[in-house]
């Protein structure tokens, strides 16, 4: 790469970053649940995209390609965080019991803890908070990867089904099916935690004027 082409690539990439930075930040926020990680991971995703930017032959392919980098970074970050937390929980449990570090019982305990562990979402990230919104935000943190991303893309970035199909590299049918199961799971989590059906729960909190 010559310095001239470096300059023009950098300028073109800066324009792309400015165009997509809000999408990148808010998608990362919806996937990982806190501001610092969302900022860090979205900027890191742009940096990784830059390293291979000259190989991208069509500008309209940028966002779906970039989205794959971003979601992989976010989910890999969450998995690492879960492993660290599960290890801490396992170490605590074995400290109070007879398990030794590295024993089969301790490792099984960590795996079980990991499976049951929801991702912690910062409640301060929700605008105009009320109880219903807080519970929903925490419930999104309990969804698995495939379901969480369709909720985030649809509700926080307002992507159409066709746009979602493009960024997820799947067909429309898969998008609608994932949305169905994601919303069903959300409904189940909310019902289980509140002990009341979704209808009653949503009526309990008056809706405050949203910006949408």
Binding residues (CB under 8 A) for other proteins: these are 10, 14, 17-18, 21-22, 25-26, 29-30, 35, 39, 43-44, 46-47, 50-52, 55-57, 61, 65, 68, 124-128, 132-133, 136-137, 151, 154-156, 160-161, 173, 176-177, 179-180, 183, 186-187, 190, 197-199, 202-203, 207-208, 210-212
CB 152 within 8 A of CB 121: no
Q: How far is the CB of 2 from other proteins (least distance, A)?
A: 14
Between residues 86 and 143, which has the closer beta carbon with respect to other proteins? 143
Between residues 71 and 154, which has the closer beta carbon with respect to other proteins? 154
Q: How far is the CB of 154 from other proteins (least distance, A)?
A: 7
Q: How far is the CB of 135 from other proteins (least distance, A)?
A: 9
Contacts for 106 with CB less than 8 Å, ≥ 6 apart: 90, 91, 93, 94, 99, 100
Report CA 102 to chain centroid distance, whole Å. 31
What is the rounded distance in angstroms from the CA atom of residue 44 to the CA atom of residue 90?
31
Tokens of 149: 């991303």
Radius of gyration of the chain (CA): 20
Between residues 116 and 127, which has the closer beta carbon with respect to other proteins? 127
Q: How far is the CB of 145 from other proteins (least distance, A)?
A: 18
Between residues 86 and 150, which has the closer beta carbon with respect to other proteins? 150
Q: How far is the CB of 46 from other proteins (least distance, A)?
A: 5
Q: How far is the CB of 93 from other proteins (least distance, A)?
A: 35
Between residues 52 and 84, which has the closer beta carbon with respect to other proteins? 52
CB 15 within 8 A of CB 59: no
Cα atoms found within 13 Å of the Cα of residue 160, Cβ hemisphere only:
2
Tokens of 65: 């390609």
Q: Quick one: which of 28, 30, 10 has its CA closest to 18?
A: 10
Question: What angle, rounded to 10 degrees, do the helices at 161-168 and 172-194 form?
Answer: 100
Between residues 43 and 87, which has the closer beta carbon with respect to other proteins? 43
């Amino acid at each position: 790469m010559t310095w001239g082409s470096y300059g023009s690539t950098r300028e073109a990439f800066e324009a792309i970053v400015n165009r997509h930075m809000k999408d990148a930040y808010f998608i990362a926020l919806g996937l990982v649940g806190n501001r610092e990680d969302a900022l860090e991971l979205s900027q890191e995703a742009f940096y990784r995209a830059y390293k291979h930017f000259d190989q991208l032959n069509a500008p309209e392919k940028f966002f779906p390609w970039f989205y794959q980098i971003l979601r992989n970074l976010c989910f890999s970050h969450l998995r690492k965080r879960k492993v660290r937390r599960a290890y801490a929980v396992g170490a605590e449990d074995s400290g109070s019991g007879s398990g030794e570090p590295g024993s089969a019982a301790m490792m099984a305990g960590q795996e079980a803890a990991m499976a049951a562990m929801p991702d912690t979402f910062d409640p301060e990230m929700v605008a105009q908070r009320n109880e219903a919104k807080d519970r929903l935000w925490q419930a999104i943190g309990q969804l698995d990867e495939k379901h969480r991303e369709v909720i985030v893309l649809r509700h926080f970035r307002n992507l159409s089904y066709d746009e979602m199909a493009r960024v997820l590299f799947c067909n429309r049918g898969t998008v609608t099916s994932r949305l169905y199961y994601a919303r069903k799971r959300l409904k189940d989590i909310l019902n289980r935690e509140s002990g009341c059906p979704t209808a009653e729960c949503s009526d309990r909190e008056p809706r405050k004027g949203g910006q949408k």
